[in-house]
Amino acid sequence: MSNVHVMNHPLIQHKLTLIRDKETGAKEFRELVEEVALLMAYEVYRDLPLEETEVETPIGKATCQVISGKKIGIVPILRAGLGMVDGMTKLIPTAKVGHIGLYRDPETLEPVEYYCKLPPDIHERDLIVVDPMLATGGSAAAAVRFLKEKGARGIKLVCLIAAPEGIARVRGEHDDIDIFVAAVDEKLNSHGYIVPGLGDAGDRLFGTK
Ligand code: PRP
Ligand code: URA
């Protein structure tokens, strides 16, 4: 059964409030999305396996732990998912980044694929799909389906704001993945926007409106 983790850490909630504010400009919006992604990554990576190692401190030998050879892949859904990549890779700089381009058809609200470039060894990696918005869930469900068709296992989905409809759709189609969100909002409006949400994430990140 897929698990939904709502991250209510005060730092995440504070920054999310600033992100939602319509007075927040593109520069600050981008910085905040990256910061929240980094804070969420901390929890998302919680179950990374560790192995023992030894280092020499200035005083003596220390038996310590390091992350053991787990391969990670970050997969942003273009465009808005790009805003979360640097926050995620700051904590795991060796992660490879794959890209899936999807846009929502404004009439049907269904995702249309226009780009895909993934690391060749995705079936050996733990994949983290990132997108700030989980609205109808169509884009995220399609991205996960796509990755599974290419042999990926161990997929997690990380979004800033979700609508209940989006969570239900992803859980309905993919009951084996963990979903991490910073907030679950009230509902979708008739245009498929999350209410109250933050508006159009792509436009606010890239200043295209
Ligand atoms: C937004 C958002 C998600 C999608 C969520 O992208 O970044 O990818 O909508 O909606 P859904 O859950 O109903 O599929 P959009 O299609 O606006 O494209 P963009 O990122 O290029 O702006
Ligand atoms: N995409 C967005 O960018 N915002 C929403 O509220 C829904 C989909």
Tens of pLDDT, residue by residue over 28-57, are 999 999 999 999 999 999 999 999 999 999
Q: Which of 3-12, 28-37, 63-72 has the lowest mean pLDDT?
A: 63-72
Q: Kindly give, in sequence order, each residue whose CB lies less than 8 Å from that of residue 190, ignoring residues fewer than 6 positions away.
A: none
139 pLDDT above the threshold of 90: yes
Span from the CA of 53 to the centroid of ligand 1 (angstroms): 43
Dump pLDDT digits (tens) for 75-133. 999 999 999 999 999 999 999 999 999 988 888 988 999 999 999 999 999 999 999 99
The confidence score (pLDDT) of residue 153 equals: 86
Distance CA 39, CA 61 (A): 32
At residue 103, the pLDDT reads 87
Question: 181 by DSSP, 3-state: which?
Answer: strand
Q: What is the residue-averaged pLDDT of the chain?
A: 95
77: exposed, middle or buried (Cβ count in 10 Å: 0-12, 13-18, 19+):
buried
Q: CB of 137 within 8 A of CB of 167?
A: yes
Q: State the pTM of this model.
A: 0.95
pLDDT per residue as tens digits for the range 173-188 = 999 999 999 999 999 9
Pocket of ligand 1 (CB under 6 A): 77-80, 102-104, 109, 111, 131-140, 166, 192, 200-202
Per-residue model confidence (pLDDT) at position 58: 98
pLDDT score recorded for residue 1: 56
What is the atom index within ligand 1 of the atom nearest the CA of 200? 17
Nearest CA to ligand 1 atom 22: 202
In this structure, the number of other CB atoms found within 10 A of the CB of residue 179 comes to: 24
Q: How far apart are CA 66 and CA 63, in angstroms?
A: 10
pLDDT value of residue 165: 97
- The residues carrying an active-site annotation are 104, 108, 200, 203
